[in-house]
Structure 1
Amino acid sequence: MKKFIFVAAFALISTFNGIAQEINWVTLDEAIALQKKAPKKIMMDVYTNWCGPCKMLDRNTFQNKDVAEYVNKHYYAVKFDGEGNEVVTYQGKTFKNPNYNPANANRRNSAHQLASYLQVNAYPTIVFFDEKAEVITPLKGYQTPTQLELYLKMFRNGDYKNITSQEQFNAYYTNFKPEFKS
């Protein structure tokens, strides 16, 4: 009982101190439906249950107050298990995981068809979509709050449309002034 009270008190204090912040996760189907009512870009976290960097991304980046507030305000956030067995419809096609093995639910499993379609071949990968649910790009690997901030703002503002070379991206990166706290 004492442990429960301590955990509950810590959670409450953390919330008031701005430590705990929740991203409003929805399914891809829900995000696409929401886009039709109020256009926003989509940020999809493609993860697996066994992936250590995926857990770090959840804990260190997605729980960051600045990241969560920005994502909730400017994106529809989707969490998608890249080796799960969810059936998803995207661009008029149905995607599933026909080789999914329930015995491997918390271990390596077969890749979901949607993950393959989105060119996800590493976890975690954050896939960004425009307001019409067209893929902008997949971003592979763990991102700190300030690393992710660059991409969140670049895609949201449409700056990526003017970056056509590595040199232009390097200049954008060099001139970017992060505001999120780590």
Structure 2
Amino acid sequence: MKTGTFSDLETLMEKDPKPVIIHLYTDWCSVCKMEKYNLNKDKEAVDLINEKFYLVNFEAEKTKEKIQFQGRDFKYLQNGNSGIHELALALSRNKDQPVYPLWIVLDKDQKLVYYHEGMLKPETMKQKLMEISAL
């Protein structure tokens, strides 16, 4: 699956506007690992994402660089030995502790069209992404 970064996104959107999938996860999340494995096995879902969307995989607790997104700067918030990225909190509806995995889909105008906390099965994802790509 082709993935990009938030810094790539602005340039890509200027050249070829497409809906954006933001996948928030953490290294310690076992559900995230199972979900990624199942999704990568589904060729139809992978092809759909690669053709019609930009995908940003975002490790919410290990990404430490400053990120500019939708005209704002977000930074890593250190908390003892760990921390969380400010952007993960901004994207999550649960402001105290985001639920992982978290899937956010924005249309080509950067408006929220889909939000899903927790495990997302490839079949459900394909159905939602086909609806979104038809918009």
TM-score bucket of the superposed structures, by smaller chain = 0.7 to 0.9
**Alpha carbons of structure 1 residues 69 and 51: separation in structure 2 relative to 1, 3 Å:** same
Inter-partner Cα distance in structure 2 for 1:67 and 1:137 = 16
Percent identity, please: 26
CA drift at 1:94: 0.8
The structure, 1 or 2, with the larger RCO (C-alpha pairs under 8 Å, 6+ apart) is 2
Inter-partner Cα distance in structure 2 for 1:64 and 1:123 = 21
| Bigger Rg, which one | 1
Which of these residues, 20, 32, 43, is aligned with residue 54 of structure 1? 32
8 Å contact from structure 2 (residues 77, 84) kept in 1 = no
1:89-133 Cα distance to aligned partner (Å, 9 max, x none): 0122111112166x5xxxxx4331101111252000111011122
Aligned counterparts, 1:1-182, within 5 A: 23-84=1-62, 85-99=64-78, 103=81, 109-119=82-92, 121-158=98-135
Inter-partner Cα distance in structure 2 for 1:43 and 1:128 = 4
Gaps of 5+ in 1: 1-22, 104-108, 159-182
Inter-partner Cα distance in structure 2 for 1:54 and 1:91 = 26
Gaps of 5+ in 2: none
Question: More helix by proportion, 1 or 2?
Answer: 1
8 Å contact from structure 1 (residues 119, 138) kept in 2 = no
Q: What TM-score results when the alignment is normalised by the length of structure 2? A: 0.87
Give RMSD over aligned pairs.
Answer: 1.6
